Chains A and B, each alone.
Chain A
Amino acid sequence: MIDAPLDEKRKQQMIDALSRVVGKKSILYRYEDVMAYECDGYTIHKGLPAAVVFPSNTEEVAAIVSYLHQQQIPFIPRGAGTGLSGGATALNGEVIISLVRMNKLLHVDYDNRRAVVQPGYINLKLSNSIASKGYYYAPDPSSQATCTIGGNVGENAGGAHCLKYGVTTNHVLGLEVVLPNGQIRRFGGTLDTPGYDVLGLLTGSEGTLAIVTEITVRILKKPQEVSTVLALFDKVTDASQAASDIIACGIIPAALEMMDAMAIHGVESGNYPVGYPKDLAAVLIIEVDGIAAGLQEQIEEIMQVCKNHHVREVRKAKDAAERARWWANRKTAFGAMGTISPDYLVQDGVIPRSKLPEVLERIGQISKQYGLRIANVFHAGDGNLHPLILFDSRVEGETERAVEAGSAVLKACADAGGSITGEHGVGVEKMEDMRFIFNDIEIEAQMQLRDVFNPNSLCNPHKMFPKPARCVEMKRLSREVPAVNI
């Protein structure tokens, strides 16, 4: 593999070859053009790709990949670039294969509750396109208005409503992919297709095993009724206890979200303020859906749990408009932080729900220790935290401190028996943090699997795994392979 930027001559040859596949207008390579692709939603690491190429169908993807494979030039698949862990960032001048022009809804099969989309098709567009027939697509990452379903598959994206309905992997029924050697393959189609669950392995592989070119997803009938409750708390511990108790008493809400005081301060300064009282410590948004006749019973129980935990105020959304306002406020939380801090770094640790109070307390200590404000906005029902570390990159050393604080938060999640990422992926950002939850043997086992699909690591190299892990393997190999005298 060529692991350094291409020289000018080879770069020109490559551009000519790829232009013959996609046409001159579907490839960018000038500095000013590729600048826009220097990072994704994770902006701390940046790097310029050698080129960005825009295929419009599977055959073009296969032709591009075949050429790059033959030339041993590394490449990266990219959707809308909304990823939050740097998975689509070119670290060594790789070629970015952008799938945004493969953006069609190919087929909707209502009778079989499934839809076939191209990877560049936008998540929310699917739900909008099938809404008139009463259907929707369940995984709803906060970026759903711009992120692509191909990207969602790459990251195994979640969202606020995956507490009840599951994440992307629970909704992917079939995939067409281009393997890193250019071969086109299909997986899935029916449930339980014979053989290993490659479909499940590919979902969430962050573009390191294959490039997804077509996705068959499950679509669901919209629930008969949705009911949303807002609960305002004076203490964070009360809110987190209530969140934990709601699940423990046997209710599985469609969504159970929480924001703490700093997050509330952020969202209230943003574009969709709800009008939360200024002195609030925490807010819970609890949504239940399903058969209308059964919802009132659940709502009453949820309200009772909140009351048991000294809620200041708890009320049901009076109509769809009010519910939409609450959600707009919540779903734009990350962006809203821009109004109270020049920069922010979002983390994505997961903990067992019952550990919420203690881990939130630990995050408070980390905030003090690093001298940085941390806003917590997260999927409380899943135990999926999103601490937003607020910093100012213009202040020397503050970016590094934010990254360190982020790592400390992930360590706290791992120590509580959790994971370092629930839906944002490892990417570039959390490669080293993988060590918090996996040992060398476990990391190596995953890299061996990568090698089955992507033997030279041409497809999205240097992502997901901490660097020295391979050294262990190399050392072992060198012990096994007899030394050659030169």
Chain B
Amino acid sequence: MQYIRGALDLEAELMELRQAIGAEKVSTIDQRPWREDSYTLHAPIRVTPTHEDDIVRLMLWASKHRLTITPQGGGTKDAMGEPHTPDVLLSMQHISGIVDYSPRDLTITVKAGTSIEQLQACLAEHGQYIPLDMPHAASSTIGGVFSANISGPRRAMYGSARDYLMAARVIYPDGRLLRVGAKVVKNVAGYDMNKLFIGAMGTLGVLTELTIRTRPISISSGMVLATASIDQLKQLQKLLIDSQLEPSICEWLYGSFEQPIGITSQQPTVAIGFDDVSSAVQYQLEEAQRLCRACGIAEQRTSSDKTQVQTLYTVLGQLLPNAQQLEGRSLIVEMKLLSSIMDVSKVFEAVQSLAAAREIALQFAGGLYTGVSRVIFEASWEQQTEWIELISDVQRYMDSIQGYGIVECAPLSIRQKAAVWGQSGQNDELMKDIKRTIDPHHLLNAGRFIGGM
């Protein structure tokens, strides 16, 4: 695949842009062919603004010339969404830094291109953090995390991006700069516009600044890892849900993990983690062990070593592949599977049998308190045709249990053929109306989102 328009065709327009924001922020790559096995995004023009005003000018320029723009943070989610061919890749990496941090208010305001590593390091100095599992911390940006609605195992206790975003600055495709929300923990003035931009994949506006709730890092942590049969795990899940335990993670894990976290066998393992004051952690670890035994689960490992627990959190948080690091490896497809809490076990059984039939290996992490599961399939490139079938079978199964299966990461060749966002739904038209209202010329992430938006 070639670019629809190469940079050479746009020389006059580019001159205008260079004048508007500075030549050093605009670079071009001409006629780079797209590779079918690619996980990364490319565009003939790359713009690296250093200030919000640059983005406003870029938007006005793009609107005028009807050029399409895809904002990008660290590029870890490049392989998410329908294949699309933007004219401009808008790198947010230099829109970076802490704007305002008020530890006493448990809130922080950061620019969208700030890396997760920088953000968490700043919070850690005051014993705080943002409890969303945000993988690939060195390259992932906070704007990217919220735009892709990334969540991980700690969601069981702490919720997801929508529970943390309080306010944001957004630039609309026509160059309008808006403030949405308010920089306080509770606010109902006007519509809750924050919600629109979370998980919208940058299709409605460019987030330039976010105000986020923070949390104190808990004093103590502990975990139980228990290897069990599926029936035992189902029983355990019921007992846990009906108990007063307050796990910060409760995941059903299967597959081999890169770092040693104590999961060795090929049998599913349940990981139950707790964050609290030490007496409460200790009590809950004992209770969790008791519940495991009540289900006949003998093989358990317990740790209240904070570093070990952190390692587990990190490893589980890193399950989501980084699109920048997949090229040259075997074929990897990651799907997010959404179901009710009690259906997680069924989902696991279904995807396991669908993959086994095609001799495709899988890694699975299912949230036993959330109903959010991730499956990562891995196989050789020769099996490509079977992939499309596998994805649609998984989606059909999710549909049959009133759930959803979304392809969150796959190479271009797979995304060209699969229904990345699953089947179209009753609400697609309404969503398209929202998109049309804000981005009538489809300039932002054109074609990448649900329903070809």
Least CB distance from A30 to B in Å reads 35
Q: Nearest chain-A residue to B403 (Cβ)? A: A190
In the bound complex, residues from chain A placing their C-beta under 8 Å from that of B219 are 250
A400 at the interface (CB under 8 A from B): no
Q: Is the CB of B107 within 8 A of A196?
A: no
Q: Is the CB of A197 within 8 A of B186?
A: no
Q: Is the CB of A350 within 8 A of B190?
A: no
Q: Is the CB of B187 within 8 A of A350?
A: yes
For residues 72 through 113 of chain B, which have their beta carbon under 8 Å from a beta carbon of chain A? 102-107
Q: Is the CB of A189 within 8 A of B402?
A: yes
Q: Is the CB of A247 within 8 A of B104?
A: yes
In the bound complex, residues from chain B placing their C-beta under 8 Å from that of A187 are 427
Q: Is the CB of B340 within 8 A of A449?
A: no
Q: Which of B199, B219, B242, B277 has the most CB of A within 10 A?
A: B277
In the bound complex, residues from chain A placing their C-beta under 8 Å from that of B427 are 185-187, 195, 198
| Binary A-proximity of B430-453 (CB < 8 A = 1, otherwise 0) | 110110011000000000011100
Q: Is the CB of A191 within 8 A of B402?
A: no
Partner of B433, one of A170, A422, A434, A452: A452
Partner of A354, one of B105, B149, B426: B105
B122 at the interface (CB under 8 A from A): no
A192 at the interface (CB under 8 A from B): yes
In the bound complex, residues from chain A placing their C-beta under 8 Å from that of B186 are 158, 162, 167, 350, 379, 382-384, 419, 422-423
Q: A291-B283, A437-B182 are in contact. Are A194 and B192 (CB under 8 A)?
A: no
Q: Which of A186, A196, A209, A383 has the most CB of B within 10 A?
A: A196
Least CB distance from B19 to A in Å reads 26
- One of A50-58, A72-80, A200-208, A362-370 at the interface: A200-208
- One of B31-39, B58-66, B155-163, B386-394 at the interface: B155-163
Q: A166-B163, A434-B189 are in contact. Are A291 and B431 (CB under 8 A)?
A: no
B250 at the interface (CB under 8 A from A): no
In the bound complex, residues from chain B placing their C-beta under 8 Å from that of A200 are 162, 192, 194-196, 198
Q: Is the CB of A434 within 8 A of B190?
A: yes
- Assembled-state Cα–Cα distance A298/B218 (Å): 12
| Binary B-proximity of A219-232 (CB < 8 A = 1, otherwise 0) | 00111100000000
In the bound complex, residues from chain B placing their C-beta under 8 Å from that of A156 are 188, 192
Partner of B280, one of A195, A291, A383, A443: A291
| Binary B-proximity of A450-473 (CB < 8 A = 1, otherwise 0) | 111100000000001100000000
Partner of A169, one of B183, B192, B338, B430: B192
Q: A156-B192, A169-B192, A446-B193 are in contact. Are A294 and B215 (CB under 8 A)?
A: no
Q: Nearest chain-A residue to B181 (Cβ)? A: A419
| Binary B-proximity of A155-199 (CB < 8 A = 1, otherwise 0) | 110100010001101100000000000000111011111111111
In the bound complex, residues from chain A placing their C-beta under 8 Å from that of B402 are 189-190
Q: Is the CB of B188 within 8 A of A248?
A: no
- Assembled-state Cα–Cα distance A417/B183 (Å): 7
In the bound complex, residues from chain B placing their C-beta under 8 Å from that of A422 are 184, 186-188
Q: A224-B244, A434-B189 are in contact. Are A294 and B280 (CB under 8 A)?
A: yes
Least CB distance from B421 to A in Å reads 5
Q: A191-B370, A293-B282 are in contact. Are A442 and B183 (CB under 8 A)?
A: no
Q: Which of A223, A290, A434, A453 has the most CB of B within 10 A?
A: A290
In the bound complex, residues from chain A placing their C-beta under 8 Å from that of B105 are 247, 352-354, 383
- One of A5-13, A106-114, A326-334, A336-344 at the interface: A106-114
Q: Is the CB of A170 within 8 A of B107?
A: no
Q: A155-B188, A185-B426, A221-B244 are in contact. Are A192 and B341 (CB under 8 A)?
A: no
A321 at the interface (CB under 8 A from B): no
Q: Is the CB of A186 within 8 A of B403?
A: no
- Assembled-state Cα–Cα distance A209/B159 (Å): 26
In the bound complex, residues from chain A placing their C-beta under 8 Å from that of B117 are none
- Assembled-state Cα–Cα distance A380/B331 (Å): 53
- Assembled-state Cα–Cα distance A393/B183 (Å): 35
Q: Nearest chain-B residue to A444 (Cβ)? A: B176
Least CB distance from B343 to A in Å reads 8
Least CB distance from B239 to A in Å reads 11
The number of residues on chain B lying at the interface, defined by a beta carbon within 8 Å of a beta carbon of chain A, is 85
Q: Is the CB of B102 within 8 A of A185?
A: no
B22 at the interface (CB under 8 A from A): no
- Assembled-state Cα–Cα distance A77/B428 (Å): 25
In the bound complex, residues from chain B placing their C-beta under 8 Å from that of A353 are 104-106, 185
A134 at the interface (CB under 8 A from B): yes
B260 at the interface (CB under 8 A from A): no
For residues 355 through 391 of chain B, which have their beta carbon under 8 Å from a beta carbon of chain A? 370-372
For residues 270 through 285 of chain B, which have their beta carbon under 8 Å from a beta carbon of chain A? 276-277, 279-284
- Assembled-state Cα–Cα distance A30/B277 (Å): 62
Q: A193-B338, A291-B276 are in contact. Are A204 and B183 (CB under 8 A)?
A: no
Q: A293-B280, A434-B190 are in contact. Are A195 and B184 (CB under 8 A)?
A: no
Q: Is the CB of A352 within 8 A of B276?
A: no
B178 at the interface (CB under 8 A from A): yes
Q: A195-B431, A417-B184, A421-B188 are in contact. Are A291 and B246 (CB under 8 A)?
A: yes
A448 at the interface (CB under 8 A from B): yes
- Assembled-state Cα–Cα distance A290/B282 (Å): 14
Partner of B188, one of A224, A383, A423: A423
Q: Nearest chain-B residue to A205 (Cβ)? A: B191
Q: A419-B182, A437-B182 are in contact. Are A464 and B190 (CB under 8 A)?
A: yes
B172 at the interface (CB under 8 A from A): yes
In the bound complex, residues from chain B placing their C-beta under 8 Å from that of A170 are 159, 163
Q: A155-B188, A158-B186 are in contact. Are A185 and B238 (CB under 8 A)?
A: no
Q: A248-B104, A421-B188 are in contact. Are A111 and B215 (CB under 8 A)?
A: no
Partner of A352, one of B107, B192, B215, B449: B107
A351 at the interface (CB under 8 A from B): yes
- Assembled-state Cα–Cα distance A438/B189 (Å): 9
Q: Nearest chain-A residue to B283 (Cβ)? A: A293
B116 at the interface (CB under 8 A from A): no
Q: Nearest chain-B residue to A248 (Cβ)? A: B104
Q: Nearest chain-A residue to B343 (Cβ)? A: A112
Q: Apart from A192-B149, A293-B283, what are 13 other A-B pairs with CB-CB below 8 Å? A: A155-B188, A191-B371, A193-B338, A196-B196, A203-B192, A205-B192, A223-B244, A290-B280, A292-B283, A353-B105, A418-B184, A419-B187, A445-B176
A-to-B contact residues, CB < 8 Å: 109-113, 134, 155-156, 158, 162, 166-167, 169-170, 185-187, 189-201, 203-205, 209, 221-224, 244, 247-248, 250-252, 290-294, 297-298, 350-354, 379, 382-384, 417-426, 430, 434, 437-438, 441-443, 445-446, 448-453, 464-465
Shortest 9 CB-CB distances between A and B: which pairs? A294-B280, A200-B195, A250-B216, A419-B182, A291-B280, A422-B186, A190-B338, A293-B283, A419-B187
Query: 8 A-B contacts, Cβ less than 8 Å apart?
Result: A167-B186, A190-B339, A190-B403, A196-B199, A200-B198, A223-B244, A452-B433, A465-B190
